[in-house]
């Protein structure tokens, strides 16, 4: 018995091995991760198997008193478990609660090719908060390629929040870097990656890039409550199926274009099939930026395969300035394009564009188009419902909606008319500078005339008067948009967020919905537009 006890004592893990664990590049102790004194000194020193074997799987990284800089790649190689993930955080108390800055100075090698790299692991959380302060205290900058890279093969339940990733891509050769890339999924599963309450800006290429294969599942990647200031190209580009993009705040980029880049910037652009995608509750703040050329804040343009199950709702678009593009010509940018015109696209079905509020679009508020060759079997169940089109086409002065559907036998009507394309429950008002014209084919019609140009009358339910919005673009008590829209509760089992407005206020289960992104609310004041992020001082751009 004594021998057994001695053997157990000899080989038992030390108490500290149960966690938590520590990283500090100024530590001077035994470098075993057991305390701040004995912390691992670099990311490559971290023993991830030890972390995964612990009871408390939290890894604290010292940010010093105010900040501390690390090089290399933060790369967890072991998994946590449900209810006990591996959690990576900055130090939570002085003198370790400053900013953890991962700065690789554009080093061109596999690692640090990325600042943070996740692949083949599950249940890993990166949380950049210190206490309840929402200012990101984990920051990634100056990678050669990507600030955060997530290879989703074998990866699931990854949660990244309260981080800032910016200024990626080698600057002398204009190497195309990105702040975040999620790619290479072979598993058609939900809840692979959750990215939230973070800040992305200033990279040479698309700031955020989702790239993957075909999949018929909603919610594989959830990207929400983030702030994006734009890279030199798009803020978000996606050719991945099953992406949810919601509750984000998109700002116009202050910088000029990357030399040699295309002269456009789109907050959200889709390619591939982009099926099972939901884009909702986002705020597009004063687009386009003065002096920049854009295609659209949302450019939904699937380019291959069968694009279907698309939901774009509760988004708020506002443009009050920006009358000139990069060439000094009047802006003609639409707020949203929903097109199926790529030659490789085989079908475009089950698309709902609903309850968006669009104020002051320079060009069309909404552009819809298809390629020739699509027909009733490959282009159907397209719905444009409950949207507010206010002060549209204020510089181009053409139309609020440009509908160029070139397929064969495409029919139009109101919701419930069994036509291929439905326009219903929308509000059109030209206000001071815009128009309420709808372009149908090659002819522009006034609101009243357009209704009767459809196969069956469009806009059986709808409004052609001032929506009477308040300063935050919500409905006032006397708005004609109240209880004037279509009830879309039938979609809420699949997409529960459709039964709430952009601020989380419930829409009625029965009876008419309000038109636009906000359901009228007469209770206590709703917080002004924001996404729960305190960016703090020192947000930098190139």
Residue found by looking up tokens 């940018």 in the block: 333
Domain ranges of the chain: 29-257
Closest CA to 342 of 382, 306, 295: 306
According to the model, what pLDDT value does residue 190 have?
86
Task: Return the sign of the alpha-carbon dihedral for residues 256, 262, 266, 268.
Answer: negative
| Strand ranges inside 128-220, DSSP E | 138-141, 146-151, 156-161, 163-166, 178-183, 193-196, 199-201, 208-211
Contact 90, 130 (CB under 8 A): yes
Q: Is the pLDDT of residue 466 over 70?
A: yes
Burial letters for 416-434: b for 16+ Cβ neighbours within 10 Å, e otherwise?
ebebbbbbbbbbbbbeeeb
- For 162-207, write each residue's pLDDT tens digit: 999 998 987 777 667 899 999 976 678 888 999 999 999 888 888 9
Q: What is the chain's mean pLDDT, rounded?
A: 86
Q: Global pTM? A: 0.93
Q: Around Cβ 193, how many Cβ atoms within 10 Å?
A: 22
User: Could you tell me which residue, 102 or 7, shows the higher pLDDT?
Assistant: 102
Contact 114, 71 (CB under 8 A): no
Q: Is the pLDDT of residue 246 over 80?
A: yes
Cα gap 64→24, rounded to integer Å: 8
According to the model, what pLDDT value does residue 289 have?
66
SS3 content of the chain, % helix, strand, coil (to 5): 5, 35, 60
Count CA atoms closer than 13 A to 326's CA, side-chain side: 15
Average pLDDT over residues 74-92: 98
Q: Is the pLDDT of residue 537 over 50?
A: no
Q: Is the pLDDT of residue 305 over 60?
A: yes
Region for residue 353 given its phi and psi (left: phi exceeds 0; alpha: psi -120 to 50; beta: otherwise): beta
Residue 428: CB partners within 8 Å, gap ≥ 6?
389, 392, 400, 436, 438, 447, 462, 463, 464
Count CA atoms closer than 13 A to 531's CA, side-chain side: 25
Average pLDDT over residues 354-358: 97
Least confident of 84-98, 207-221, 247-261: 247-261
Burial letters for 129-154: b for 16+ Cβ neighbours within 10 Å, e otherwise?
bbeeebbbbbbbbbbbbbbbbbbbee
Task: Return the sign of the alpha-carbon dihedral for residues 381, 275, 297, 343.
Answer: negative
User: Could you tell me which residue, 448 or 383, shows the higher pLDDT?
Assistant: 383
Q: Is the pLDDT of residue 261 over 60?
A: no
Token output for 113: 């090719």
Average pLDDT over residues 258-269: 69
According to the model, what pLDDT value does residue 538 have?
32
């Amino acid at each position: 018995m004594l021998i057994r006890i001695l053997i157990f004592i000899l080989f038992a893990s030390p108490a500290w091995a149960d966690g938590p664990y520590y990283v500090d590049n100024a530590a001077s102790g035994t470098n075993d991760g057991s305390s701040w004194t004995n912390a691992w000194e670099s990311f490559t020193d971290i023993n991830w198997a030890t972390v995964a074997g612990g009871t408390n799987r939290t890894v604290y990284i010292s940010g010093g008193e105010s900040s501390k800089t690390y090089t290399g790649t933060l790369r967890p190689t072991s998994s946590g478990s449900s209810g006990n993930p591996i959690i990576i955080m900055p130090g939570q108390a002085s003198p370790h609660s400053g900013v953890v800055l991962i700065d690789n100075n554009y080093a061109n090698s596999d690692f640090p090719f990325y600042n943070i790299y996740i692949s083949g692991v599950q249940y890993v959380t990166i949380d950049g908060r210190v206490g309840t302060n929402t200012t990101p205290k984990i920051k990634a900058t100056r990678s050669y390629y990507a600030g955060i890279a997530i290879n989703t093969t074998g990866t699931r339940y990854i949660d990244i929040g309260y981080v800032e990733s910016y200024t990626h891509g080698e600057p002398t050769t204009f190497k195309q870097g990105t702040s975040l890339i999620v790619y290479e999924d072979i598993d058609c599963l939900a809840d692979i990656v959750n990215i939230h309450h973070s800040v992305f800006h200033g990279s040479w290429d698309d700031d955020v890039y989702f790239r993957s294969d075909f999949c018929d599942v909603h919610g594989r990647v959830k990207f929400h409550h983030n702030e994006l200031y734009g890279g030199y190209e798009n803020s978000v580009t996606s050719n991945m199926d099953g992406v949810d993009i919601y509750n984000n705040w998109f700002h116009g980029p202050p910088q000029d274009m990357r030399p040699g880049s295309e002269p456009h910037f789109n907050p959200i652009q889709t390619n591939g099939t982009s099926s099972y995608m939901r884009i909702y509750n986002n705020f597009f703040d004063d687009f386009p930026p003065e002096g920049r050329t854009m295609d659209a804040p949302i450019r939904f343009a699937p380019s291959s395969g069968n694009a279907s199950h698309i939901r774009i709702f509760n988004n708020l678009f506002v443009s009050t300035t920006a009358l000139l593009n990069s060439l000094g010509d009047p802006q003609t940018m639409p707020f949203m394009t929903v097109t199926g015109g790529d030659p490789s696209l085989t079908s475009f079905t089950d698309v709902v564009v609903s309850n968006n509020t669009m104020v002051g679009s320079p060009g069309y508020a909404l552009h819809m188009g298809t390629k020739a060759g699509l027909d009733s079997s490959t282009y159907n169940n397209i719905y444009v419902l409950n949207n507010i089109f206010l002060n549209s086409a204020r510089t181009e002065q053409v139309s609020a909606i440009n509908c160029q559907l070139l397929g064969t036998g495409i029919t139009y009507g109101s919701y419930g008319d069994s036509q291929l394309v439905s326009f219903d429950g929308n509000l059109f008002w030209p206000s001071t500078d815009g128009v309420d014209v709808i372009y149908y084919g090659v002819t522009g019609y006034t609101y009243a005339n357009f209704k009767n140009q459809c196969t069956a009358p469009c806009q059986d339910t709808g409004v052609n008067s001032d929506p009477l919005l308040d300063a935050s673009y919500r409905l006032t008590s006397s708005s004609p948009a109240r209880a004037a829209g279509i009830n879309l509760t039938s979609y809420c089992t699949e997409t529960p967020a459709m039964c709430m407005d952009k601020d989380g206020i419930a829409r009625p289960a029965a009876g008419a919905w309000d038109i636009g992104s906000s359901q009228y609310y007469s209770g206590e004041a709703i917080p002004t537009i924001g996404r729960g992020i305190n960016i703090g001082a020192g947000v930098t751009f190139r």
